[in-house]
Amino acid sequence: MNSLQDKVAVVTGASKGIGAAVARGMGAAGASVVVNYASSKADADEVVAAIQRSGGKAIAVQGDMSRPQAVRQLFAESGSTFGRVDVLVNNAGVYNFAPVGEVTEEVFHRDYDLNVLGPIIAMQEALKLFPAEGGSIINISSIVSANPLAGMLVYASSKAALDVVTKVSARELGSRNVRVNSILPGFTETPGNSVNGDLRATMLSQTPLGRLGRSEDIARVAVFLASPEAAWITGETIRVSGGLL
């Protein structure tokens, strides 16, 4: 499938997990891919190599997406290499769990700088490189933005804020044919995010499809939203959770 042939996709936080799967999926669909990473250079290089082995084009660009200047540099390198951007996937994120009484300013700003401010700056920079025919912005949110649990005040609220960014931006950018959507993954097992024991059994029992998510489950939806097949979809928050809610 070459639904993204001749397109350029920037995927933040793409060295591992969901981001890596999204980057590989974009490459498999024909896009040239900018694989952003914060610190895991070896992992990012492997994602690039996997795309290239399949005949695609990709580069790895280091940058902490909580820092506006690093975000701007990411898009400067993307533009100088590929000349344009058609798809932005805001995947880079962080989570901190703490009860209300233990939330600190440091924890708040760590989550909001990366989960909310970073995507906003990335959108601003991507818009400068989108072609006249428009583009697609995909924000990777979380199911907890709609169904928060105890101890998730800062993380869940940052993802809820990202969903509002999606809805407002979709209204503002529709006239430019720029579509903006959020994907809300349920619990998705990745190398750095796994669950076992009673908690796993509980989550499986509450998920109608009977399993936890895989990174590829999210990647397939992201590729669809980036493609022409999703040309009439914008401002949506799409739950990909096996029916958890």
DSSP states along 40-67: -HHHHHHHHHHHHHTT--EEEEE--TTS
CATH number at residue 146: 3.40.50.720
Question: Has residue 45 been placed in a domain?
Answer: yes
Nearest to 213 by CA among 199, 227, 232, 194: 194
What's the whole-number mean pLDDT along residues 162-187? 97
Residue in the block written with tokens 């901190």: 96
Residue 37 known to be catalytic: no
Question: Has residue 1 been placed in a domain?
Answer: no
Question: Has residue 50 been placed in a domain?
Answer: yes
pLDDT tens-digit profile of 69-78? Answer: 999 999 999 9
Question: Has residue 245 been placed in a domain?
Answer: no
Question: Has residue 3 been placed in a domain?
Answer: no
Domain range for 111 = 8-240
Q: How many other C-beta atoms are found inside a 10 Å radius of the C-beta of residue 158?
A: 27
Q: CA-to-CA distance for 223 and 29, rounded, in angstroms?
A: 7
Output 103-107 pairs: Cβ under 8 A, ≥24 positions apart. 103/153, 103/154, 107/154
Tell me the one-letter amino acid at 26: M
Structurally, how many domains does the chain consist of? 1
pLDDT tens-digit profile of 107-153? Answer: 999 999 999 999 999 999 999 999 999 999 999 999 999 988 888 99
Question: Has residue 157 been placed in a domain?
Answer: yes
From the list 37, 95, 112, 155, the catalytic residue is 155
pLDDT tens-digit profile of 214-234? Answer: 999 999 999 999 999 999 999
Tell me the one-letter amino acid at 138: I
With a cut of 80, say whether residue 165 has pLDDT above it: yes
pLDDT tens-digit profile of 11-32? Answer: 999 999 999 999 999 999 999 9
Backbone angles phi, psi at 11, to 5 degrees: -120, 115
